[in-house]
Amino acid sequence: MNVLVTGGTGYIGSHTCLQMLEMGYTPVLLDNFSNSKASVLDRIEEVSGTRPVLITGDILDKNLLVETMKRYGISAVIHFAGLKSVGESVSEPLKYYSNNVSGTLCLVEAMSECNIKTLIFSSSATVYGDPSTVPINEGFPTSATNPYGRSKLMVEECLNDFYKANPDWSITLLRYFNPVGAHPSGKLGEDPNGIPNNLMPFISQVAVGKRECLNVFGGDYPTPDGTGVRDYIHVMDLARGHIAALNKVGHSKGIHIYNLGTGRGSSVLEMIEAFEKASNKKVAYKMVDRRPGDVAECWADPQKAQKELGWYAQLEVEQMAIDTWRWQSNNPNGYHD
Ligand code: NAD
Ligand code: UFG
């Protein structure tokens, strides 16, 4: 089965492609490299022995999408392509609405033209806004606290409306919690541009000596140790979640929504501790004020995915830290090496 993977050279996309190859799927990657490097392909080939087809281009280019879908006999699309920096989305909201929302609409139009009716979309736990309780299940109310989150929510809403008018489609919305970790080979991982916004890449850059000190955003949350609590999920588990969705619901008509999380929360201090253990390095940190827009705690109720997809996250925080460290220490400059 040939599957178009938009954003396939990105962090989650590249790990998912590897697992698709392992499972006998043929991923066809499409990426504009706005946040990834072409050398990711070499790494995928090194690990899997296969070099997938890569189309360099933009999801806003409908002609290219249609041509690619026809040329490669695509029967389903996994749609990772998107911009994901919350801070940048606040300063450049139109960029986010254009890329994430218009880009998805363009993709769906191209799929319609090519009669492809299976779509898996990368959504985010950010669509739960500031949840009133945890764990969060798929029935919780949705809202957005920034333009990035709003772009994800808008896409979800557009796809819901689209599905109502096109009930012969299979549309799956996967709401990821906090993806971290790297491929166990140490050859693929997360390679953020500039100063990392997210906790794990920042911690690992402190451990490898690229940054001096981690700012812990808030030590006064109503959580057991006062720092923010999140549901960190290993990117390999997340990748498997896409295969499970493709296998289980990729062929059943409907709009399918799943949380992909572990169901367990870890605090910032617990993540530092796990990382220090994995790397045998001290991670210097200091407590600073809360980061505006952050919630105290956020973790998933992952039972729906377990019941319906037969999928659950298997890897613990310790493994996430070990694999992140292996990637970071083998590739201190990411894919630039
Ligand atoms: P990433 O930036 O590593 O990957 C996204 C890929 O899409 C990049 O390779 C980028 O070059 C590409 N891309 C962006 N705009 C494009 C366009 N217009 N045309 C073609 N390619 C384009 O990010 P990721 O962490 O792998 O995230 C993948 C998806 O999952 C994104 O949609 C993101 O919003 C979503 N998500 C990520 C997280 C997270 O914390 N990593 C959490 C929830 C949801
Ligand atoms: N944190 C720090 N210092 C840092 C970075 C983060 O203390 O330098 C803390 C945050 O305050 C938070 C926790 O670490 O308590 C996790 O922060 P991240 O930025 O790694 O992740 P978020 O939960 O804030 O957001 C992530 C993605 C969003 C996505 C959301 C839900 O960045 O895009 O998960 O899926 F929407």
User: Which ligand 1 atom is at minimum distance from the Cα of 57?
Assistant: 20
- Ligand 2 centroid–CA 200 distance in Å is 9
Q: What is the SS3 assignment for 311?
A: coil
Q: What is the pLDDT of residues 13-62, one digit of tens each?
A: 999 999 999 999 999 999 999 999 999 999 999 999 999 999 999 999 99
Is residue 11 in contact with ligand 1, taking CB distance under 6 Å?
A: yes
Closest protein CA for atom 29 of ligand 2: 126
Is residue 9 in contact with ligand 1, taking CB distance under 6 Å?
A: yes
Tell me the pLDDT band of 98, cut-offs 50, 70 and 90.
Answer: very high
d(CA 238, CA 78): 13
Average pLDDT over residues 143-152: 96
d(CA 107, CA 82): 12
Is residue 216 in contact with ligand 2, taking CB distance under 6 Å?
A: yes
Residue 213 lies in a domain: no
Q: What is the pLDDT of residues 73-87, one digit of tens each?
A: 999 999 999 999 999
Residue 285 lies in a domain: no
Q: Please list, in sequence order, all residues whose beta carbon lies within 8 angstroms of the beta carbon of residue 275, skipping any fewer than 6 positions away.
A: 200, 203, 204, 207, 283, 321, 324, 325
d(CA 40, CA 122): 20
Average pLDDT over residues 123-128: 98
Domain of 111, CATH number, reads 3.40.50.720
Q: What is the pLDDT of residues 218-272, one digit of tens each?
A: 999 999 999 999 999 999 999 999 999 999 999 899 999 999 999 999 999 999 9
Relative to the alpha carbon of 221, which ligand is closest?
2
Q: What is the pLDDT of residues 194-211, one digit of tens each?
A: 899 999 999 999 999 999
Residue 318 lies in a domain: no
Is residue 199 in contact with ligand 2, taking CB distance under 6 Å?
A: yes
User: Which ligand 2 atom is at minimum distance from the Cα of 126?
Assistant: 36
- Ligand 2 centroid–CA 199 distance in Å is 6
Name the domain count of the chain. Answer: 1
- Listed range (98-102, 206-210, 314-318) with the worst mean pLDDT: 206-210
Is residue 7 in contact with ligand 1, taking CB distance under 6 Å?
A: yes
* Residue 160, domain extent: 2-180+233-261+300-310
Residue 291 lies in a domain: no
Closest protein CA for atom 28 of ligand 1: 80
Is residue 35 in contact with ligand 1, taking CB distance under 6 Å?
A: yes
Give the per-residue pLDDT at 221: 97
Three-state secondary structure string covering 123-180: EEHHHECCCCCCCECCCCCCECCCHHHHHHHHHHHHHHHHHHHCCCCEEEEEEECEEE
Residue 315 lies in a domain: no
Q: What is the SS3 assignment for 261?
A: coil
Report CA-CA distances (Å) from 280 to 1, 250, 283, 291, 317: 43, 43, 9, 28, 16
The catalytic residue among 25, 96, 128, 148 is 148
Report CA-CA distances (Å) from 277 to 287, 317, 319, 321: 20, 11, 11, 8
Q: State yes or no: is 148 an active-site residue.
A: yes
Q: Does the pLDDT value for residue 337 go beyond 60?
A: no
Nearest 5°: the CA angle 245, 249, 254 is 125
**Residues found in the chain:** 337
Residue 333 lies in a domain: no
Only one residue has tokens 């029967």, namely 75
Average pLDDT over residues 294-316: 97
Residue 206 lies in a domain: no
Tell me the pLDDT band of 193, cut-offs 50, 70 and 90.
Answer: confident
Token pair for 199 = 């906790």
Cα dihedral 86, 90, 93, 97, rounded to 10, equals 30
Tell me the pLDDT band of 320, cut-offs 50, 70 and 90.
Answer: very high
Give the per-residue pLDDT at 336: 75
Q: Are 309 and 245 in contact (CB under 8 A)?
A: yes
d(CA 129, CA 171): 22
Summary mean pLDDT of the chain: 97
Closest protein CA for atom 28 of ligand 2: 126
Q: Please list, in sequence order, all residues whose beta carbon lies within 8 angstroms of the beta carbon of residue 200, skipping any fewer than 6 positions away.
A: 180, 181, 190, 232, 271, 275, 320, 324
Residue 38 lies in a domain: yes
